[in-house]
Amino acid sequence: MPLRIEDYALIGDCETAALVGRDGSIDWLCLPRLDADACFAALLGGPENGHWIIAPEETAEVSRRYRPDTLILETAFTTREGRVLLIDFMPPNGKASDVVRIVVGLEGRVRMRSELIIRFDYGSTVPWVRRLDDGILRAVAGPQMLALKTPAPLRGEDLATLSEFTVSPGERVPFVLTHAPSYLPPPELPDPFAALNDTEQFWLEWSGRCSEAGPWSDAVRRSLITLKALTYAPTGGIAAAVTTSLPEQIGGVRNWDYRFCWVRDATLTLLAMMDGGYSEEASDWRDWLVRAAAGSPDQLQIMYGIAGERRLWEWEVPWLEGYESSKPVRIGNAAHAQLQLDVFGEMMNALYHGRRVGLPEHKVAWALQLKVMEHLELIWREPDSGIWEIRGPPQHFTYSKIMAWVAFDRAIKSAEEFGMQGPLDRWRRVREEIHEEVCRKGFDPERGCFVQAYGTKELDASLLLIPAVGFLPPADPRVRATVEAIERDLLIDGFVHRYRTARSHDGLPPGEGAFLACSFWLADVYCLLGRAEEAERLFERLLGLRNDVGLLSEEYDAAGQRLLGNFPQAFSHVSLINTAHNLSHEKKPAEKRGGVQATRGE
């Protein structure tokens, strides 16, 4: 059985990433990109599906940390024999993706063991392994090859590569695992110690540019490093998570592939990068968004591949048991084909804010935006699948309509503030029509608050974003009443749930944890309402959910006191960054996101 989700740490090279357990086992690694097939898939199955463990032979006490302001993981093992340090990292900017592991003796003489089980194609394909005259072990299956170099003794046993060795104080035993296509000449493996120095300098230089966020600067810096690790450097796309199919409920079926880029995250991600001091990354993300969305506006998707791929077909992996028997394991994401009106608002909002913060103007962005607005004008009245990608019947989701309003509002503001040309009078009429309809159909007089969809009585945490996007001001009685209703109905065990799955028509069995971004949104609303002490208390409670190396997943199970969902989750870390800045800055990202209030929203 794999470890608890919070027992994993992340290493990566800004092209792919791996999860390393507290036990010294790498249980998840996809190569050559983080959305490629896994060669270590024990996270969703067992060791026989691929893993690489380096640990003492004896039982050990474990502590770990990242080297300050880096993505270099240090795991200390203490046994009766002594102490050793395992250093794990992936060097950025290499010719290929490399995993470097260095065992360092600290005290006594400690017997160590390495077990490397390579299984390409999500844990199913056994490679042909051989060692050539240069001493490098190579594992080949079809187009894939992994090469391993180490001074430690190696032997094959039961389709695994094993090593036993002993380390004394001051001794360093390196292992370097490199990926390359099998049909090309063997790759040059990096010097592990030079790579360690280069990797540390890379991360220190990068994190040294981070803006301060008051008492939460360290937490913000760690979250920004995590976002950088989730970035596919060649394109600027930021994946939602490293993993697929980590469950939202143990044993449940809400298991999705999150190794893609969501348009939904665009504005908050851009603001998190800009407020963090990373304008280049924000610009790269904006450029990725424009390239991904380019084309016919009726084909705008809610998510894309990390290079902008559109076909993200979903299929199930029958040979993997799933994390703690949570089936099915899904590859791809069928929600990519859904209609979600909110992505139109997110795209327009992100590009508007890109101009507001001074990013260089993209040559084709406005022309694309004009076509998008023409299409949205035709379809905004249609039902959709909503921000949460409901797999039941389409509905008229209130938040979807609000984000359609945002799209027209930001188009108008772009023309007014930056001289962009467009049919302003028509856009203003549509903006007013949408606003009137939402206030009439999305607001339930009996409950006295906004509801999830037209004609329902259910609540939805996305309604917390009403003041943040500028639809209505925080002081509006309808906003305050909606916040209070969400506190009563969706705030469970101190954390906000997306909606009541047991009462929904989302097409899936009920049950999931608290979606962490929603609780950060509540803290943001508290900031906007002047409830600063409550915002800070909730934020500190959320910070306490991070694991020992500062990482968050998608959801949290308060009853089981454990993280749930894909890990680490970009949206959770983006939300952490923005809430920290809301609490520590006079000019708050939550206020900037909405821009100047529209006349209709005042």
- Position 46 scores a pLDDT of 95
- Position 587 scores a pLDDT of 62
CA dist 479 and 516 (Å) reads 21
Burial label for 480, CB within 10 Å (0-12, 13-18, 19+), is: middle
With 80 as the cut, is the pLDDT of residue 250 above it?
Answer: yes
The tens digit of pLDDT for each residue in 214-230 reads: 999 999 999 999 999 99
Pick from 238, 417, 263, 235: nearest CA to 345: 263
Helix (H) or strand (E) holding 116: strand 110-117
Task: Convert 483-506 to b/e letters by CB count within 10 Å (16 or more is b).
Answer: bebbeebbbeeebbbbbebeebeb
Can you give the residue ranges of every domain in the chain?
5-183+199-206, 209-601
Question: Residue 63: phi, psi to the nearest 5?
Answer: -135, 155
Phi-psi region of 494 (alpha: psi -120 to 50; beta: other; left: phi over 0): left
Examine domains 5-183+199-206 and 209-601 and report if their fold is the same: no
Pick from 94, 95, 88, 86: nearest CA to 202: 94
Three-state DSSP state, 437: helix
Mean pLDDT of 546-571: 97
Q: Going by C-beta distance under 8 Å and a sequence separation of 6 or more, which residues neighbour residue 416?
A: 424
- Position 586 scores a pLDDT of 64
DSSP string, 146-198: EEEE-SS--EEETTEEEEEEEE-TT-EEEEEEEEEETTSPPPPPPPHHHHHHH
> Which tokens belong to 273?
């990068």
Q: Which CATH number fits domain 209-601: 1.10.4080.10, 3.10.530.10, 1.50.10.10, 3.30.70.260?
A: 1.50.10.10
Helices vs strands, H then E, count in the chain:
14, 29
The tens digit of pLDDT for each residue in 7-31 reads: 999 999 999 999 999 999 999 999 9
Question: What crossing angle do the helices spanning 570-584 and 266-276 adopt, rounded to 10°?
Answer: 50
Which neighbouring-strand residues pair with 237?
232
CA dist 296 and 294 (Å) reads 7
Residue pointed to by tokens 């695992």: 177
CA dist 364 and 423 (Å) reads 18
- Position 218 scores a pLDDT of 96
The tens digit of pLDDT for each residue in 456-479 reads: 999 999 999 999 999 999 999 999
For residues 5 and 246, the answer to whether their CB atoms sit within 8 Å is yes
- Position 185 scores a pLDDT of 85
For residues 346 and 261, the answer to whether their CB atoms sit within 8 Å is no
- Position 585 scores a pLDDT of 72
- CATH code of the region 5-183+199-206: 2.70.98.50
With 50 as the cut, is the pLDDT of residue 600 above it?
Answer: no
Three-state DSSP state, 300: coil
CA dist 195 and 65 (Å) reads 19
pTM of the predicted protein model: 0.95
Pick from 558, 556, 588, 554: nearest CA to 571: 554
For residues 16 and 26, the answer to whether their CB atoms sit within 8 Å is no
CA dist 533 and 528 (Å) reads 12
- Position 596 scores a pLDDT of 46
The tens digit of pLDDT for each residue in 385-428 reads: 999 998 889 999 999 999 999 999 999 999 999 999 999 999 99
